[in-house]
Amino acid sequence: MSEPLRIALAGLGTVGGGVIRLIEANASLIARRAGRPIQITAISARNRSKDRGVDLSGYAWEDDMVILGERPDVDVVVELVGGADGPALALARTTFEAGKALVTANKAMIAHHGLELSAKAEAAKVAFKFEAAVAGGIPVIKGLKEGAAANEIKRVYGILNGTCNYILSTMEDTGRDFADVLAEAQAKGYAESDPTFDIDGIDAAHKLSILSAIAFGTAVDFKGVTATGIRRVLAADIAQADALGYYIRLIGMAEPEVDAQGNHRLFQRVHPHLVHRDHPLAHVDGATNAVVAEGNFVGRLLFQGAGAGDGPTASAVVADLIDIARGDIGAPFSIPAAELTQAAPAESGHRTGKAYLRFTVADRPGTLAEIAAAMRDAGVSIESLIQKGRVEVNGEERVLVALVTHEGPESGIAEALRLLEGSPSLAEPPLVMPLLEE
């Protein structure tokens, strides 16, 4: 058997510990599939003395993780520290400059610096792999880069954040409100003590920008993603969606477009949707992730599975290491970095579909007429309108009014909301959620 692939591991948290356990437990199987053994030679983390439940005595320790990229006994660096910048980015740059391959689960770093790092890897003729950065253990990146490589991908979308999906599906099952379920998710370890990146859609936006680059051959453009999270979703919205035949899910969606002047643009949005119960994403529950890709020949592909956790994410990391051991380099985003196209962000106004709108209003005569008039003046046709439920806003009781529009352009809804802006009848800005049909 060939010489072992020697790796250095930066970051010994949940995933880092999982990588060590997986490599140790499946060493023989991995060696047979990779064509040579995979061995850890050096490690680094913030706290050397912390008990991580694995034996680290056989590995060289570096207090400064950036040095891992320069060690002569290392072929591949595995970065599991996280963060868009700082030590993780410094380590990635040092690794490529030293002519070594990099495997990472760091979606933030890829979303912000993926183009630069891809160019560095290609210049050094080394691998840059990040299967674990999107959807944990689901091989969606490999599926797009290899299984669907012959297809023109028309659209890619899915449930990209397990924390949000756990919260929404638990609200669905229990009838409890967002804040209560979030607190429970934090207590169980499904949500961070500061859940902002998850519940405001930022984590999903990082992942969506990476998927877009791979699916459409465009430069990674995280700044071009419009992200709206789930903070404002109420139990009443969940119940109303159910009555209409839908479930609420946070969906990241990307689609290339050509505008009227022939310019290529890219639509990227993370937003809560009402998903029709016959759609495959509607029944994705708990902390599960799922991604749908639509190819011009293969049709609809669904990738579903565990989106986080030590086992699934470690599995994706080690799968990348096996590919490197086999000699697979390839362009990190399927197409060489210099050939990735620059696509300006696409506006959403011309996009057509149905939408759910929920208004929190004062209980007084004329409020419904005011909403209906704004919809009429903006050219928005109402399919159904329901006045149901009361909530307390700033110590005052308010009424919930929900409506579903007929299919039409999003610009019409935006205009209707503009007409209602500043109305004393509205206690807070309306919540808008597109409908995702079957």
The tokens of 120 are what?
Answer: 């560095």
Q: Which residue of the set 100, 142, 207, 354 is catalytic?
A: 207
- Residue 249 sits in a domain of what CATH number? 3.30.360.10
- The predicted pLDDT at position 88 comes to 97
Q: Which of 251, 276, 306 is the last residue in one of the domains?
A: 306
* Rg of the chain, C-alpha, whole Å: 24
Per-chain mean pLDDT for the chain: 93
Annotated active-site residue 107? The verdict is: no
Are 283 and 144 found together in one domain? yes
Is 333 within the bounds of a domain?
A: no
| Percent of the chain surpassing pLDDT 90 | 82
Can you tell me the mean pLDDT for 135-149? 92
Are 123 and 163 found together in one domain? no
Is 325 within the bounds of a domain?
A: no
Are 377 and 264 found together in one domain? no
Is 296 within the bounds of a domain?
A: yes
Distance CA 351, CA 408 (A): 8
- The predicted pLDDT at position 258 comes to 84
Are 394 and 410 found together in one domain? yes
Is 338 within the bounds of a domain?
A: no
Are 295 and 174 found together in one domain? yes
Are 163 and 281 found together in one domain? yes
Are 302 and 153 found together in one domain? yes
Cβ atoms of residues 70 and 55 within 8 Å: no
Is 12 within the bounds of a domain?
A: yes
Is 337 within the bounds of a domain?
A: no
- Residue 21 sits in a domain of what CATH number? 3.40.50.720
Can you tell me the mean pLDDT for 39-68? 91
- Which residue from 69, 50, 12, 103 is spatially nearest to 321, judged by alpha carbons? 103
Q: Which of 108, 133, 158 is the last residue in one of the domains?
A: 133
pLDDT in tens, 85-114: 999 999 999 999 999 999 999 999 999 999
Residue 260 has pLDDT above 80, yes or no: no
Highest mean pLDDT range out of 121-125, 260-264, 303-307? 121-125
Are 252 and 375 found together in one domain? no
- The total domain count for the chain is 3
Is 50 within the bounds of a domain?
A: yes
Q: Which of 133, 149, 178 is the last residue in one of the domains?
A: 133
pLDDT in tens, 158-197: 999 999 999 999 999 999 999 999 999 888 877 888 999 9
Are 122 and 199 found together in one domain? no
- Residue 420 sits in a domain of what CATH number? 3.30.70.260
pLDDT in tens, 191-233: 888 999 999 999 999 999 999 999 999 999 999 999 999 999 9
Is 10 within the bounds of a domain?
A: yes
Range of the structural domain that residue 377 is part of? 352-436
pLDDT in tens, 79-91: 999 999 999 999 9
